[in-house]
């Protein structure tokens, strides 16, 4: 299932169909963008000054720093604008210290030169615009009352900045001086290298998850994720609302 060529093909299909039947992708993407905006505005209001859960979270200590993937430079694994990809990592503890939960951020796709160019100056296209810290809540929370299954696992929020569900390939880039990088597949590869080096190579249990465009990325990379981890590890994938499949399969 992990066919890295599927996505660029779909990208081209969307580009072509955008000319002929512009209405379908336009309506589809408008719905997605509205969905994404709702999702993000929900998240941004989710900070300690406006949101105080009435259980054991009392301080700002559930904010987790952004880490740039420096090794990505040598591998040519870049966000849409050519900046380094990034993630947030919180180390596991106690009985969770050999378990890994990865969550791939969502945010739709860009499907035209214009929409991908616009993304280059947003957190979904450039690590230069990403918040230096994000709050880990829900499945990423480190509080057992909020997150009884995974609170003490190693937890990673993977930032999404390639515009194509971590599956873009440089062959799809314009060869005429247009500065747009489609390097999602390489971002996936260097991220896995980095996390394996941080201890994921000894994982006993691992869950790859993602929402929306991140849900689709989860589907695309699930088999590879399984192959990278120890044979005796329990590995699962959770694709939450990776519903963009409906749009890309004609």
Ligand X SMILES: *[C@@H]1O[C@H](CO)[C@@H](O)[C@H](O)[C@H]1NC(C)=O
User: Site residues (CB under 6 A) for ligand X?
Assistant: 113, 174, 176-178
Angle between helices 23-44 and 6-20 (to 10 degrees): 120
Q: Of all residues in this chain, which one has the CB nearest to ligand X in the complex?
A: 176
Cα(124)–Cα(117) distance, integer angstroms:
11
Question: In angstroms, what is the minimal distance from the CB of 117 to ligand X?
Answer: 10
Q: Residue 235's beta-bridge partner residues? A: 206
Of the two residues 173 and 240, which places its CB atom closer to ligand X in the complex? 173
Of the two residues 27 and 113, which places its CB atom closer to ligand X in the complex? 113
Integer CA distances (angstroms), 112 to 3, 25, 210, in order: 22, 11, 24
Question: In angstroms, what is the minimal distance from the CB of 80 to ligand X?
Answer: 15
Of the two residues 54 and 176, which places its CB atom closer to ligand X in the complex? 176
Is residue 99 within 8 Å of residue 204, measured between CB atoms? yes
Cα(139)–Cα(175) distance, integer angstroms:
41
Contacts of 43 (CB under 8 A, 6+ apart): none
CA-closest candidate to residue 101, choices 154, 146, 151: 154
Of the two residues 95 and 176, which places its CB atom closer to ligand X in the complex? 176
Question: In angstroms, what is the minimal distance from the CB of 16 to ligand X?
Answer: 12
Under DSSP, is residue 37 helix (H, G, I), strand (E, B) or coil? helix
Cα(200)–Cα(154) distance, integer angstroms:
9
Of the two residues 70 and 179, which places its CB atom closer to ligand X in the complex? 179
Question: In angstroms, what is the minimal distance from the CB of 109 to ligand X?
Answer: 17
Question: In angstroms, what is the minimal distance from the CB of 79 to ligand X?
Answer: 19
Phi and psi torsions of 7, nearest 5° = -70, -50
Of the two residues 117 and 137, which places its CB atom closer to ligand X in the complex? 117
Question: In angstroms, what is the minimal distance from the CB of 71 to ligand X?
Answer: 30
């Amino acid at each position: 299932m992990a066919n890295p060529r599927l996505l660029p093909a779909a990208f081209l299909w969307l580009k072509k169909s955008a000319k002929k039947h512009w209405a379908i992708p336009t309506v589809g993407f408008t719905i997605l963008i509205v969905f994404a905006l709702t999702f993000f505005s929900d998240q941004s209001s989710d900070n300690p000054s406006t949101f105080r859960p009435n259980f054991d979270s009392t301080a700002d200590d559930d904010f987790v720093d952004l880490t740039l993937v420096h090794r990505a430079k040598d591998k040519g694994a870049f966000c849409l604008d050519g900046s380094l990809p990034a993630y947030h990592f919180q180390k596991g503890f106690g009985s969770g210290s050999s378990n890994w939960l990865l969550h791939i951020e969502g945010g739709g796709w860009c499907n035209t030169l214009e929409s991908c160019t616009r993304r280059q100056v947003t957190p979904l296209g450039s690590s230069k615009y990403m918040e230096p810290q994000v709050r880990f809540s829900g499945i990423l929370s480190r509080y057992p009352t909020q997150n009884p299954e995974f609170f003490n696992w190693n937890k990673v929020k993977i930032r999404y900045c390639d515009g194509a569900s971590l599956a873009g390939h440089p062959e799809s880039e314009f060869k005429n001086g247009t500065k747009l990088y489609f390097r999602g597949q390489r971002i996936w590869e260097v991220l896995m290298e980095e996390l394996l080096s941080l201890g994921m190579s000894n994982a006993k249990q691992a869950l790859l998850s993602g929402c929306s465009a991140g849900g689709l990325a989860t589907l695309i990379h699930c088999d590879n994720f399984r192959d990278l981890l120890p044979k005796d590890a329990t590995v699962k994938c959770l694709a939450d609302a990776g519903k963009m499949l409906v749009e890309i399969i004609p």
